[in-house]
């Protein structure tokens, strides 16, 4: 069984068994002969893959899982629709507490932009979120900012993200120069399409392959 088939099989099993909000749960690569590592992705609607038809093939967490992580890695996508950083503290941090990830990939802020979260509140919540991941012993924490396609309103959120990233010595993933395609999604703001997810995945893959 190849890696994609193994991933799909486990997701189908989890979908049948899951009773909580996170039906994306743990997705391992093929059985590894060595020690495993766990990647947890945190985010909102985009990280859930709401802008693509086949999120297991086209959403950025699964693209990163396929391209940049060794066999035996376990992927847990903790993202939820519409998650501001405050929402992620309440609903997504418990996933990290349960899984004890080696790597955390964080893409939050788009839903705060939509919700017009005041920048001081956004910044304080992001500090709290990253601080909690560090206290849990996460070895690598990658934090992305917002692409320019989200409009000029993204700039103050990106400034806050940059300040928090460098103050807390975590790894930046710079998406600010990307003009990623967005597509309409029923009930949600426009979301990255498959091409946009590939661009986001490329940025995370580059960061993962760099020396921390």
Of 80, 67, 68, the residue nearest 22 (C-alpha): 80
Task: Give the pTM.
Answer: 0.85
- The model's pLDDT over 73-108, given as tens digits with 9 standing for 90+, comes to 999 999 999 999 999 999 999 999 999 999 999 999
Both tokens of 79, joined, read: 């993202």
CATH superfamily name and code, 3-9+18-209: SGNH hydrolase (3.40.50.1110)
Backbone angles phi, psi at 111, to 5 degrees: -75, -25
Q: 16-49: b or e for each residue (b if 16 or more CB lie within 10 Å)? A: eeeeeebebbbbbbeeeeeeebbbbbbbbbbbbb
Least confident segment among 31-45, 50-64, 111-125, 193-207: 31-45
* Residue 191 main-chain phi, psi, to 5 deg: -120, 155
- Please, what is the average pLDDT of the chain? 86
Nearest Cα residue to 73 out of 42, 37, 101: 37
Compare 13 and 200 and report the one with higher pLDDT. Answer: 200
Quote the CA–CA distance of 20 and 1 in Å, as a whole number.
28
Torsional sign, CA 170, 199, 194, 10: negative
Q: Are strands 74-77 and 26-28 parallel, antiparallel or unpaired?
A: antiparallel
Interval 187-203 mean pLDDT: 94
Helices 119-135 and 154-167 cross at an angle (nearest 10°) of 30
The residue extents of the domains of the chain are 3-9+18-209
111-154 pLDDT tens trace: 999 999 999 999 999 999 999 999 999 999 999 999 999 999 99
Q: Taking the CB of residue 172, how many other CB atoms lie within 10 A of it? A: 16
């Amino acid at each position: 069984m190849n890696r994609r088939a193994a991933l799909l099989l486990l997701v189908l099993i989890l979908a049948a068994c899951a009773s909580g909000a996170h039906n994306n749960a743990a997705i391992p690569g093929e059985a590894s002969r060595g020690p495993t590592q766990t990647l947890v992705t945190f985010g909102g609607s985009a990280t859930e893959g709401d802008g693509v038809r086949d999120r297991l093939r086209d959403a950025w967490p699964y693209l990163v899982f396929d391209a940049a992580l060794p066999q035996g890695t376990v992927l847990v996508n903790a993202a939820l629709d519409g998650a501001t950083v405050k929402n992620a503290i309440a609903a997504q941090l418990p996933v990290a507490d349960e899984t004890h990830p080696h790597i955390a990939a964080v893409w939050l802020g788009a839903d705060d932009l939509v919700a017009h979260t005041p920048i001081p509140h956004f910044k304080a919540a992001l500090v709290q979120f990253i601080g909690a991941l560090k206290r849990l012993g996460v070895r690598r924490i990658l934090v992305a900012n917002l692409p320019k396609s989200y409009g000029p309103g993204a700039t103050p959120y990106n400034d806050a993200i940059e300040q928090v990233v460098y103050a807390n010595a975590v790894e930046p993933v710079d998406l600010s120069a990307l003009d990623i395609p967005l597509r309409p999604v029923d009930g949600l703001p426009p979301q990255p399409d498959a091409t946009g997810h590939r661009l986001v995945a490329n940025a995370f893959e580059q960061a993962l392959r760099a020396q921390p």
